[in-house]
Chains A and B, each alone.
Chain A
Amino acid sequence: METIYEDYSPKGVRFYYLYKALAHPEYNGYVQPFTLEERLMHVKEAQRTLGSKFTWICDAMSNDVKHALGNAPNSEFVIDPNGVIVRMRRWSNPQQLRKDLEELVGPVAKPTQMSDLNMKTAPPPQVALSGIVPRIEVPGRMQPVKIEPKMGKTPFYAKLRVEVEEQVLRTGKGKMYLGFCMDPIYHIHWNNLAAPIRYELKPSKGTTVSPVSGEGPKVKEASDIDPREFLVEIENGKSSKPIELTVRYFACNDEEGWCIPLTQQYTIHFARDPDGGGAFGRSFGADRRDSKSPGATNSER
């Protein structure tokens, strides 16, 4: 893509990446943002890690643009000077895009090659150890459901992701996954010298959850960034009957020199989140985790 930018930007073609909801949360540790401000932090992170010269624009948290442009993870459009769609495809294809622009704008005498570029890319942030807390096994394919964080002044440094077995949405019965991931855009890690994370669930009348509370493992290393995960049994879960969740944890930022206790709350709805994306190892039923977790290595900043 960057080679096409180099060749056609001087010819007046404008190039945009439209940043949208994550297709694969937790890959490389990134999690769905809760606010526009956080999504814009993702854009800055994308600029840093990818080194692209494209102009970045960002979808609203309602995901209106993603919905209107077909809901595909990596679609591509060419727009003419009148704002009319002249090319569109479900999957971005640089080779085809180059052919499109050759037809529409004209060929380039000497196309730029990747080896001609000196792109500055950077790895995702990793502020503490990872790969030391075992991941839990889920029973089968899980679907993300909608959650509402109860926003306050403090960001949700550990972000909740809730998924359920497909049968829960059909019958109200089955397993619910609760995953708390440290958000890497805040350069935060768990404080394992303090009490581990603890959640408490308060279901609506008529819905049963078990267990109603849980605590994360005690980790001997002082800090890490691994997810804290739990499985809960649901009975009589209904879309009209949300569940309230309260979570307590300690988070630290070594760069800014603080550790704080946090108590945060969510409302969990039994309704599929069409913009929740799919986490490897759970949404696709494949036994695959974040391939960027190197295991028990000393990778602190």
Chain B
Amino acid sequence: MIRPISLTAMVMLSIAIISASAEEDREAQDRSPRFMRDSDGFAKSGLKIGASLPDLTAYDADGNPFKLSQLKGSYSAIVLGCLT
């Protein structure tokens, strides 16, 4: 049974990317109060419009170091995600 979610989370749900019922359920869970509480890290991260990306090192798909500071020279769109 899906736990009731807050009004704020309901508004966010309305703009969610939905393609199948399983995906709908998964994103509904992500907007549960617990997950919203955990995701408050986004609001508290200190990141803001006008700031530079943190100078951290990730890896490319071959395992080579990839510095976020490389993302210059053109517009870049970055989406965080995972398999599940």
Q: Which residues of A contact B (CB under 8 A)?
A: 1, 4, 8, 12-28, 30, 36-37, 40, 42-47, 49, 54-60, 64-88, 90-97, 101, 104-105, 141, 274, 278, 280, 283-288, 291-292
Contact = CB atoms under 8 A, between A and B. Distances in A.
A74 B16 CA distance: 11
Interface residues of B, number: 55
Nearest to A13: B75
B60 to A, nearest CB: 6
A76 B61 contact: no
B10 interface: no
Contacts of B77: 4, 8, 13-16, 76-79, 97, 101
Contact of A14 (B22, B44, B66, B75): B75
Interface in B17-55: 17, 22, 25-26, 29-30, 32, 34-35, 38-39, 41-45, 47-54
A76 B66 contact: no
Contact of A91 (B15, B54, B82): B15
Nearest to B19: A114
A287 B49 CA distance: 39
A81 B83 CA distance: 29
Given A76-B78, A81-B74, A88 B47 contact: yes
Contact of A21 (B32, B59, B82): B82
Contacts of B79: 1, 15-18, 54, 74-76, 92
A287 B25 CA distance: 12
Contacts of A93: 15, 17
Nearest to B36: A90
Given A18-B79, A81-B73, A94-B17, A284 B59 contact: no
Interface of B: 1-3, 12, 15-17, 22, 25-26, 29-30, 32, 34-35, 38-39, 41-45, 47-54, 56-63, 66, 68-69, 71-84
**Residue among B26, B29, B82 with max Cβ neighbours from chain A (10 Å):** B82
Contact of A84 (B41, B50, B68): B50
28 contacts: A1-B79, A4-B77, A12-B74, A12-B75, A13-B75, A17-B79, A18-B58, A18-B81, A42-B83, A55-B61, A64-B56, A65-B68, A67-B41, A69-B45, A73-B35, A73-B81, A74-B30, A74-B79, A76-B80, A88-B47, A92-B17, A92-B79, A274-B38, A284-B32, A286-B2, A286-B3, A288-B25, A291-B22
A25 B83 CA distance: 9
A28 B83 contact: yes
Nearest to A95: B15
Given A20-B81, A70-B47, A47 B76 contact: no
B75 to A, nearest CB: 5
A22 B84 contact: yes
Contacts of B83: 22, 28, 30, 42, 45-46, 49
Contacts of B66: 57
A184 B28 CA distance: 25
B84 to A, nearest CB: 4
Given A22-B82, A91-B15, A83 B53 contact: yes
Contact of B81 (A12, A19, A44, A292): A19
A177 B50 CA distance: 44
5 A-B pairs closest in CB distance: A70-B42, A71-B41, A27-B84, A70-B45, A68-B54
Contacts of A88: 47-49
